[in-house]
Structure 1
Amino acid sequence: MKRILIVKVTSLGDIVQALPVIADIKRAFPGVQVDWAADEAFVEVVHWSQSVDRVLFAPLRRFKKSRRWVDLKAIAASIGELRAFRYDCVIDIQGVYKSAIIAFLARSSRRFGYRNKDLGELGAAFAYTGRFGPRPLGNAWQGMRISAGEVLGYQPEGPAVYDMKLPEADAAPFEAGDAPVAALFHATSKDDKKWPVAHWGAVGNELVRRGFRVVLPWGSSGEREEAVAIAALVPGATVLPQMSVNGIAHMIDACSLVVGTDTGFVHVAHALQKRTVMIFVATSPSHFGIEAPYRSISIGDGHSVPPVSEALQAIDYVHSSPLDTSAAQHPATSA
């Protein structure tokens, strides 16, 4: 086994949680080259991995919106890069049309993807010469590790290894100050995943009482308005300026605690080994959640709004024991 291609094109949290697949492969096949194909919008995140040998990308999402010739040319150029090497195996752990097309265009006689019932888009099935086994019980992140291992003939062992290292900050570094920082990630991609502003205010007030400095990141104007509304309920809370993905990642790395909804940056916090609480309102915590003893926990049943008391109990849990980093070789090594 000399070269393998992983196809996972989106999104932020999904890509972060797929990174341990690389560590598993390299443990099973020392010296193997592992390339990764992603959408241009998330290529920066893939580069955080110290284990990826070559990152391939194209402006797929941007072209879908713009239909501009320049973006189409960039996609065409990316196909040439994709086909520059022959792969012993291509593993599509996305399972939609665009990921399947990438898998199909890659130079390989072995292309693997999900069974029809597990695909995100059924038409993606055309690209594969083989399929993963039945979707494993448990969360999606461990399932990706198991599926890749099935294809390549190994069993993933131990906690997930992210092997992430952030690049230098692209702006003035976030200053944590003297007090421990707690970041509240209230923003979500969908309104039904939101936790009420009043709940955020109650948690923020309790964190301030415990000596934390509370900060509120945001990405859009609507998210900023919500951050301002939460800050109005929490004395001393800071609404952060708009930040890049790199800047937010560095801010997370400076935090002592991250509390947030089911969103990508909370997965980043977990991968960076921060004490993390993820709140589920409308999605499945058993399928998409995070968990590490005394460090990361998911709350909620995915069908109702978790009460403030449940969030505070979770915060107590992740702060109830010192972190055991004995297995870590460097920052963001293990789950």
Structure 2
Amino acid sequence: MKILVIKPSALGDVVNGLAIVPRLRNLFPNCKIHWFVNSEYAELVELAGLDKVIKFERGAWKNFHSVFSGINNVSKISLELRKNKYDVVIDLQGLIRSGWFTFITGAPVRIGFSDAREFAHIFYNRKVYVKRNKIHAVDCCLETLKKLGDENPVAEWKWFGLNDKITALNWKYKINDDDFFAFVVGSRWETKKWPPNFFGKTAALLYKKTGLKIFLTGTENEIHIAEEVMFHAIENGCKQSAIVSLAGKLSLSELFALCKESKLVLTTDTGPMHCAVSIGAKVVALMGPTNPVRHGPYNQQKNVIAIDKKCAPCYKRKCPNNETCMAEISPETVVEKIMEEMMIE
């Protein structure tokens, strides 16, 4: 049997989707599993032990609706998918574009969500009904397996080659010299961001209480945020050598390695949060505009600190009232939760 899973983006969503892979292996021991993904996240998917990773450039995806641009790329992808002769295709993305690619494979079994956006459901012949606001995104993905006969699917992640990544990361940044916390200091949504001075004060308080080092991580666009966090941490009494910024320096696999080796990951609702959960790291998650039940750290919802406002979760990338709701979560509250999770008196 040959199975294709379509889940091109984003980082956290891809990680959540990969929870079905070990279960598919158990259901169909001799199956071949391919994954259709944005090339930006291919490195991550390649850690999951798949038989093939089909990469595409984001530009080709964006230009799908254009008559004159992107058509060559889409045609090449469509031909490749058709030639692979899949038995089963699972569309976890649920958009018109992913629905089209599901259909063009010609697979006899095409699974997708009944509430898929942009009328993508018309391309599926086995529709999955889920109550998205009542269950976690991981469980939504697992529901697709019921259409293949698995009545009680369970989430599981298996990553391959991480030990080599940990060794390499330690050689570069000496992460194993001391125990440490990892802070994910940025977010794509403005409304998800926690103030840098709050991260900084939290780092200082944790250092004073535990003596543990803090590594900061983020994208290249978030280097300035990490620098601001460091400034406020040192200003509040954190030793300069105890806080290190790796923002903009880590690949996806190195991010996994950092999270795996950390004592705990402090994060907002970000892709790295889901990465940390998938490798068994302890997480404390700060949440505002999104629903913790649906988007929080899987099976670690007790470690969520969420804002208490009538408008939450609003799912808005920018607040129309120019409020900074996440600032209602204090560093002291976060430190208390971390200490509780670490069982440190």
The answer to whether 1:290 aligns with 2:305 is: no
Task: Give 2:56's aligned residue.
Answer: 58
The answer to whether 1:189 aligns with 2:188 is: yes
Distance change in 2, residues 1:76/1:197 (3 Å): same
For the Cα contact (< 8 Å) 1:296–1:318, is it kept in 2?
Answer: no
Query: 5+ residue gaps in structure 1?
Result: 322-335
Q: How far apart, in 1, do the equivalents of 2:177 and 2:37 lie? A: 39
The answer to whether 1:151 aligns with 2:157 is: no
SS of the equivalent of 1:173 reads helix
SS of the equivalent of 1:48 reads helix
SS of the equivalent of 1:232 reads helix
The answer to whether 1:318 aligns with 2:341 is: yes
Task: Give 1:208's aligned residue.
Answer: 207
| Structure 1 residue 41, shift from structure 2 partner | 1.8
For the Cα contact (< 8 Å) 1:24–1:156, is it kept in 2?
Answer: no
Q: How far apart, in 2, do the equivalents of 1:178 and 1:60 lie? A: 39
Task: Give 1:138's aligned residue.
Answer: 135
| Structure 1 residue 254, shift from structure 2 partner | 3.1
Q: How far apart, in 2, do the equivalents of 1:95 and 1:63 lie? A: 14
| Structure 1 residue 261, shift from structure 2 partner | 0.8
| Structure 1 residue 73, shift from structure 2 partner | 4.4
Supply the AA of the counterpart residue of 2:55. Answer: F
SS of the equivalent of 1:176 reads coil
SS of the equivalent of 1:83 reads helix
| Structure 1 residue 61, shift from structure 2 partner | 4.0
SS of the equivalent of 2:9 reads coil
Q: How far apart, in 2, do the equivalents of 1:80 and 1:62 lie? A: 14
Task: Give 1:333's aligned residue.
Answer: none
Q: How far apart, in 2, do the equivalents of 1:74 and 1:43 lie? A: 17
- Which of 247, 267, 273 is the matching residue for 2:280? 273
1:98-247 aligned within 5 A? 98-115=97-114, 118-119=115-116, 121-135=117-131, 137-146=134-143, 148-158=144-154, 160-166=155-161, 168-169=164-165, 173-209=172-208, 210-221=210-221, 223-234=222-233, 235=238, 236=240, 237-240=243-246, 242-243=248-249, 244-247=251-254
| Structure 1 residue 230, shift from structure 2 partner | 1.0
Distance change in 2, residues 1:166/1:193 (3 Å): farther
SS of the equivalent of 1:94 reads coil
Q: How far apart, in 1, do the equivalents of 2:227 and 2:203 lie? A: 13
Supply the AA of the counterpart residue of 1:182. Answer: F
The answer to whether 1:257 aligns with 2:264 is: yes
For the Cα contact (< 8 Å) 1:180–1:211, is it kept in 2?
Answer: no
Distance change in 2, residues 1:9/1:296 (3 Å): farther
SS of the equivalent of 1:154 reads coil
For the Cα contact (< 8 Å) 1:195–1:281, is it kept in 2?
Answer: no
Task: Give 2:331's aligned residue.
Answer: 308
Distance change in 2, residues 1:317/1:28 (3 Å): farther
For the Cα contact (< 8 Å) 1:173–1:247, is it kept in 2?
Answer: no
> Which 10-residue stretch deviates more, 168-177 or 261-270?
168-177
| Structure 1 residue 20, shift from structure 2 partner | 1.4
Task: Give 1:248's aligned residue.
Answer: 255
- Aligned pair count reads 311
Q: How far apart, in 2, do the equivalents of 1:39 and 1:225 lie? A: 27
Task: Give 1:331's aligned residue.
Answer: none
For the Cα contact (< 8 Å) 2:145–2:153, is it kept in 1?
Answer: no
Superposition RMSD in Å: 2.8
For the Cα contact (< 8 Å) 1:184–1:214, is it kept in 2?
Answer: yes
Distance change in 2, residues 1:63/1:109 (3 Å): closer
Cα deviation 1:122-166 (Å, max 9, x = unaligned): 2322311231123363211112102x12211212344x2110124
Q: How far apart, in 1, do the equivalents of 2:120 and 2:183 lie? A: 37
Cα deviation 1:241-282 (Å, max 9, x = unaligned): 522323333333332221111111121111121121121121
SS of the equivalent of 2:303 reads strand
Cα deviation 1:41-83 (Å, max 9, x = unaligned): 2222111102x2222221134663799x997645433333212
Task: Using structure 2 for the length normalisation, give the TM-score.
Answer: 0.81
For the Cα contact (< 8 Å) 2:267–2:285, is it kept in 1?
Answer: yes
For the Cα contact (< 8 Å) 2:3–2:87, is it kept in 1?
Answer: yes
Counting aligned pairs with the same residue, the percent is 21
Q: How far apart, in 2, do the equivalents of 1:203 and 1:281 lie? A: 18
SS of the equivalent of 2:93 reads coil
| Structure 1 residue 213, shift from structure 2 partner | 0.7
Q: How far apart, in 2, do the equivalents of 1:260 and 1:76 lie? A: 40
SS of the equivalent of 1:199 reads helix
Query: 5+ residue gaps in structure 2?
Result: 314-324
| Structure 1 residue 15, shift from structure 2 partner | 0.7
For the Cα contact (< 8 Å) 2:219–2:248, is it kept in 1?
Answer: yes
